[in-house]
Chain A
Amino acid sequence: MSERESLRVAGETGSIDVSGLPSTVFGHRALTWWGTLGYMAAEGTTLIVCAVAYLYLQRNFATWPPRGTPLPSLSAATIQVVLMTASIPVMIWTARASRRFDLGRIRLGMVLSSVFALAFCVLRWFELQSLHTRWDTNAYGSAVWAILFAHATLLVVQFFEGATLAAMLFLGPVEPKHFADVDDSCLYWYFMTGAWFVLYLLVFISPRVWG
């Protein structure tokens, strides 16, 4: 029987010696994975509240966006979606490398992650311009700026996290737990980009479809 199974059986009858257990694990076995999940739940709920405000306020307007405000331009946001999609395989590759304790690859991966995140932030600036409205123009402006800005905080935090991890991996000393940190960073990446895909559809596409 597996090591785990033998420990379980041992516990049913007597004491258990855990000295043979590992200290670095990945995925849902690790505490930080759960912490990341918790952070995702909180941030995700925050984005949902912004989306709810956006949807609720629509009923106060005859047209959406309101008369006088053009539809948000698609170019910057679509490039963002494409870039984010392209980044995902890179992060999957990095996550796999981290589970194999491949230091060289995860160094490259975290550098790429920082570059991507920086690019996302820059594109986010252009996306905000492409809304053709200000946060203080009307409730529509406030709602769309809130969504983009709230999500932007994820991008900014991710940039700093990626850059810090990259610096740690290059400057050292590197500990086994840093590999798990990289894996968690990639998990968070999927949430960050996935959330944007949904919000992109909400803000940039749905007004064109529903009118």
Chain B
Amino acid sequence: MSAPVTADPDLVPPAEREGVRELHRQLDRVWRDGPGLRGWLMSVDHKSLGKRYVITAFVFFLLGGLEAAMMRAQLSRPENGLIGPDLYNQLFTMHGTTMMFLFAVPVMSAMGLYLVPLMIGSRDVAFPRLNAYGYYVYLIGGLFLYVSFFLNVGPDAGWFAYTPLSGPAFGVGKRVDVWAQTITFTEIAGLISAVELITTIFKQRAPGMSLNRMPLFVWSILVMAFMILFAMPWVAVDSQFLAMDRLIGTHFFNQAEGGDALLWQHIFWFFGHPEVYIIFIPALGYVSTVIATFTRREIFGYPAMILSLVATGFLGFGLWVHHMFATNIPQMGESFFTAASAMIAIPTGVQFFCWIATIWGGRPRFATPFLFILGFFAVFIIGGLSGVMIASVPFDLQVHDTFFIVAHLHYVLLGGAVFPLFSAFYYWFPKFTGRVLSERLGRWNFALFFIGVNLTFFPMHLLGLHGMPRRIYTYLEGTGWGSLNLLASIGAVTIFVSVVIFLVNVARTLRNGELAGDDPWGSSSTLEWATTSPPPAYNFAHLPVVQGRYPLWSRPLDPPVVTGLRTDQRELLITTLLDAVPDHRHRTPDPTIWPLLAALATGVTFIALIFTPWAAVIGGVLVAGPLIAWGWGKPKPGDPVVTEGIK
């Protein structure tokens, strides 16, 4: 019982090889999805759902990028007649809504949902059916937004939908209602992913992976998930208040009846500021993982890194008023938010310095993932510095709502989230698909993306200082903004080309790229690299036992594993919160169609709510059916059944 049990048939004596192969076959039978489309729709496998989630989010990234390209085309010349005000207003609304709600947060949760169970040595997330439901709700929400856009009912009041412009008096038609309900879909999906990730991280870590041995990426996902839990309900409620003002005559934002236009902004930004850290913090997890792998050194200052992540998470909730400095909020109150907004630079600085120390002490290898990390440093720091500048109220009053802010937000989001995301894509692509992306195309991707981002957004700092506000579909020749805008638009073309190169790289690699072993990088440290690429449905034949912070760097040739889990039904090992001591075995659900049906019923309900409040009642009944069927499962043969209670 204390002798290690390996799951690699080639590492055991020939006599035992068939036994190991039989183990793999049994586990595969129990854990794999059913065949065909039906099996795919019924899947509750976190990897299958995670891949779908990532791909869907990336498609939205491309759509958001096309919207940006159209805007840049229109703005490339003064008084351009390419796109009129109505379409332009829809474009920047769709761009912001898509990028923030349909791409940035979902892609981060999706990467978490795929990678966390592997990285902590488990077989699935805590609530696999809920995971499926959450993905389908997200997908339906995104499709709903885009179908509405193509039917010319797309939202046009900005991704932030300030009242009273978005209210019943000025927001004509159903456009803003479409926006409000899209929020509902995405917030539900986000909250579901948060509960999944917290529960999985707390309760399913491999034996020996105590909290202070948990990979920094898992810590970043944990912080992100907590932030989602406490931030997203704010925008969900705000959007419902708006929907109610528009549909049933409430007065939350109606000044004439005691409502308040600023209430919208306070609630929205109380969500909106943490939102950007929700996007940024997992990216910090990618940075730590990739730096450790490609410098072959432990990340310097592990406890400081964790404290910084947590501090950023907390502080992120205390900054929201800095989006509202131009309103009539008292100066005294604003000073607090200036100080807090400046202070949040400190934990980020700590992380930067620890990474630089790591790289200094390590042995860098300039593969594409590492190049994107270097790009992250250069681009994000510019965004961070401009961020400290706009923490100042007097300065912000000049550049608020101008292209200076557009520059800042894109430097921090592209630098702080998208560069690390591309790094993550290149790094984990072999694990997801079994093939390694081309290094040559990767370098071109990186170079053009880096040049393009800087070319597009650096001039915007100047444009904002020179008086150009945001969200304008055109500008006069006399302003002199034409040349910088043209430069920015050329940069946008460069970004476009770099993304095309990425897509070409993906397509060619999937067709016949270089095959990956368990760890094609050779120096990865986390558990997902201890299994095949891509992983089998059951992730690991035997769950690993962890004895250090960087399990793959310190494990013996025949590492200790967990034995004794059932191989005739799906079982997870649940461990204790702090020290990951094995606690109990948890029967996890088989594939089922009910999450999909429940999501469809939910979708119908939310969409109908745009037209009538009674949809809440009818929809409630509609959703109840699949939910009851979901919960009222029949026990499988072999499961214990109780008839009279156990005395």
Binding site for B on A (CB under 8 A): 4-5, 7-8, 10-25, 28-29, 31, 34-35, 38-39, 41-43, 45-46, 49-50, 52-53, 56-57, 60-61, 66, 100-104, 135-143, 145-146, 150, 156, 160, 164, 168, 172-179
For A181, give the chain B residue with the smallest CB separation.
Answer: B631
B28-36, B108-116, B337-345, B557-565: which lies at the interface: B557-565
Please determine whether A29 and B251 come into contact, CB atoms closer than 8 angstroms.
no
Among B194, B250, B563, B631, the residue within 8 A (CB) of A142 is B250
Q: Which residue of B lies closest to A176 (CB)?
A: B640
- Do A138 and B258 contact each other (CB < 8 Å), given the known contacts A14-B3, A16-B207, A23-B586? yes
Q: Is B646 an interface residue, CB under 8 A from the partner?
A: yes
The CA of A64 and the CA of B221, in the complex, are separated in Å by 43
| Cross-chain contact A56 with B640 (CB below 8 angstroms) | no
Check A29 against B641 for contact (C-beta < 8 Å). no
Residues in B with CB closer than 8 Å to A35 are 126-127, 130, 195, 199
Query: Which stretch of B139-147, B282-290, B575-583 is in the interface?
Result: B575-583
Q: Does B628 have its Cβ within 8 Å of any Cβ on chain A? A: yes
Residues of chain B lying within 8 A (CB to CB) of residue A142: 241, 244-245, 250-252, 259
- Complex Cα gap A88–B27 (Å): 44
Contacts of A28 in B (CB 8 A): 577
Q: Is the CB of A60 within 8 A of B642?
A: no
CB distance from A1 to the nearest CB of B (A): 12
Contact A146 B195 (CB under 8 A): no
B206 to chain A minimum Cβ distance, whole angstroms, is 9
Cross-interface CB contact of A175 among B126, B245, B582, B635, cutoff 8 Å? B635
Chain B residues with Cβ below 8 Å from A179 are: 642
- Chain B residues at the A interface, C-beta cutoff of 8 Å: 1-5, 126-127, 130, 191, 194-195, 198-199, 202-203, 207-208, 229-230, 232-234, 236-238, 241, 244-245, 248-252, 254-255, 257-260, 263, 266-267, 542, 545, 547, 560-565, 573-574, 576-577, 579, 581-587, 620, 624, 628, 631-632, 634-635, 639-647
What's the Cα separation between A145 and B241 when bound, in Å? 11
Known: A16-B560, A23-B586, A143-B252. A101 touches B646 (CB 8 A): yes
A100 to B646, CA, bound (A): 7
Interchain residue pairs with CB less than 8 A apart (29): A4-B583, A7-B581, A14-B560, A15-B1, A15-B4, A15-B542, A15-B545, A15-B560, A18-B562, A19-B564, A19-B565, A23-B584, A35-B126, A35-B195, A38-B198, A41-B229, A45-B229, A53-B263, A60-B255, A61-B258, A66-B258, A102-B647, A103-B644, A136-B248, A142-B241, A142-B244, A142-B250, A143-B252, A174-B641
Residue A174 contacts which of B195, B263, B581, B643 (CB distance < 8 angstroms)? B643
Give complex CA distance A10, B577 in Å: 18
| Candidates A12, A14, A18, A46; contact of B233 at CB < 8 Å | A46
Most buried by A among B257, B266, B645: B645
In the complex, what residues of A have CB within 8 A of residue B3's CB? 14-15
Contact B581 A15 (CB under 8 A): no
CA distance A36 to B576 in the complex (A): 18
Given A31-B126, A35-B199, A136 and B4 touching (CB < 8 A)? no
| A8 and B126 within 8 A (CB) | no
C-alpha spacing A136/B241, complex, angstroms = 12
A13 to B561, CA, bound (A): 10
Contact B5 A103 (CB under 8 A): no
Shortest C-beta distance, B53 to chain A (Å), equals 19
Residues of B within 8 A of A45 (CB): 229-230, 233-234
Q: For B635, what are the chain A residues with a Cβ–Cβ distance below 8 Å? A: 173, 175
A46, B195: Cβ atoms closer than 8 Å: no
How many angstroms between the C-alpha atoms of A1 and B8 in the bound complex?
Answer: 33
| Bound-state Cα–Cα, A43 to B199, Å | 17
Contact A175 B640 (CB under 8 A): yes
A50 lies within 8 A of B237 (CB)? yes
A101, B642: Cβ atoms closer than 8 Å? yes
| B563 lies within 8 A of A146 (CB) | no
Assess the A12–B208 pair: CB atoms within 8 A: yes
Given A13-B2, A35-B126, A61-B258, A102-B645 contact (CB < 8 Å) = yes
Assembled-state Cα–Cα distance A42/B582 (Å):
29
A11 x B126 contact (CB < 8 A): no
Alpha-carbon distance between A161 and B429 when the two chains are bound, in angstroms: 42
- Tell me if B259 and A15 are in contact (CB < 8 A): no
- Would A31 and B229 count as touching, CB distance under 8 A? no
Contact B560 A13 (CB under 8 A): yes
B209 and chain A: residue at smallest CB distance: A11
- Bound CA–CA A57/B340 (angstroms): 26
A112 to chain B, nearest CB (A): 17
List A contacts of B238 (CB < 8 A).
49
Once the chains are docked, how many angstroms separate the CA of A173 from the CA of B244?
43
Bound Cα distance from A177 to B577, whole angstroms: 21
B206's closest neighbor in chain A, by CB? Answer: A11
A57 to B: closest C-beta gap in Å: 6
Judging by beta carbons under 8 Å apart, are B563 and A16 in contact? yes
Give the nearest-CB partner of A31 in chain B: B126
Partner of A18, one of B203, B234, B582, B646: B582
Nearest opposing residue in chain A for B245, CB measure: A142
Say yes or no: B583 contacts A29, CB within 8 Å: yes
* CB neighbours of A20 from chain B (8 A): 564
Is B195 touching A16 in the complex (CB atoms < 8 A)? no
Q: Which residues of B are found within 8 Å of A139, using beta-carbon distances?
A: 251-252, 254, 257-260
* In the bound complex, CA of A52 to CA of B562 (Å): 49
Q: How far is the CA of A52 from the CA of B238 in the complex (A)?
A: 11
Task: Give CA–CA (A101, B251) in the complex, Å.
Answer: 50
Write out the residue numbers on chain B whose beta carbons fall within 8 Å of the beta carbon of A172: 641, 643
Beyond A103-B644, A142-B252, A142-B259, 19 additional pairs, beta carbon < 8 A: A4-B576, A4-B583, A14-B3, A15-B560, A21-B564, A21-B584, A22-B585, A23-B584, A25-B574, A31-B203, A35-B127, A43-B233, A45-B233, A53-B252, A136-B251, A142-B250, A145-B250, A168-B632, A177-B587
Bound form: Cα–Cα A113–B631 in Å: 18
Q: Report A-chain residues with C-beta under 8 Å of the C-beta of B632.
A: 164, 168
CB distance from B256 to the nearest CB of A (A): 9
Q: Which residues of B contact A49 (CB under 8 A)?
A: 233-234, 237-238, 267
Distance from A176 Cβ to chain B, minimum over Cβ atoms (Å): 6
Measured between beta carbons, the chain A residues less than 8 angstroms from B208 are 8, 11-12
CA distance A28 to B232 in the complex (A): 25
Find out whether the CB atom of A23 lies under 8 angstroms from the CB atom of B645.
Answer: no
